Amino acid sequence: MISAETVYRRQDGLLEALERRRSDLDRYARTIGELHLTNVASDESYQRLFNGLYGVRRNKPWRSAYYNIFENRKRDTEISFRSVLLSIFEETGRVEASFASKLVATIDPTRAIYDSVVRTNLDLPTRIGKNLGRLEDLERDYNEIQRILSNEVKAPVFRFVRQRFHQKFPDLIHFTDIKILDLLIWQIR
């Protein structure tokens, strides 16, 4: 399993990889910064920004349902992965753990993203299937990702990783510790 210690040992290469993806870092900063300044259900510019960042390649009806959920939930201070996952399923008929987590993490940047790369790097299993029967497993995995990342940002070496990230990207000092660690783990492939 990838840990803060692993990230610390590999930070030079990981930060260089992130620097090559600078446009993604800027897009992420904009999705967070503009979230409460627009109606995400109708702002096609915001949607294109989010789609480009997260590789949203679903059809128009799916995107419409997703961005309506996003707009309706963006002020929800008690937002949960499970409730968003269920909302997406109810509106689209699809179980979309990754996109549910990206919506949650945009609204609350202290929350983790359920991503195949991060999931693999944290030694969590791949969950297959399209039905809601896997909801419990997905929720358990999401909570485990959140738990692991929350613990790893408390590791003493993470302080040095954060400091190097801020030196490399001083304009992104507002990124949360969870997001910094998530971004760095995401570079390990």
Total tally of structural domains belonging to the chain: 1
Find the domain containing 45 and state its range. 4-186
Residue 52 is predicted with a pLDDT of 96
Residue 141 is predicted with a pLDDT of 95
HSE (side-chain half, CA atoms, 13 Å) at 84: 33
Residue 90 is predicted with a pLDDT of 95
Contacts of 18 (CB under 8 A, 6+ apart): 25, 168, 169, 183, 184, 187
Which tens digits make up the pLDDT trace of 76-111?
A: 999 999 999 999 999 999 999 999 999 999 999 999
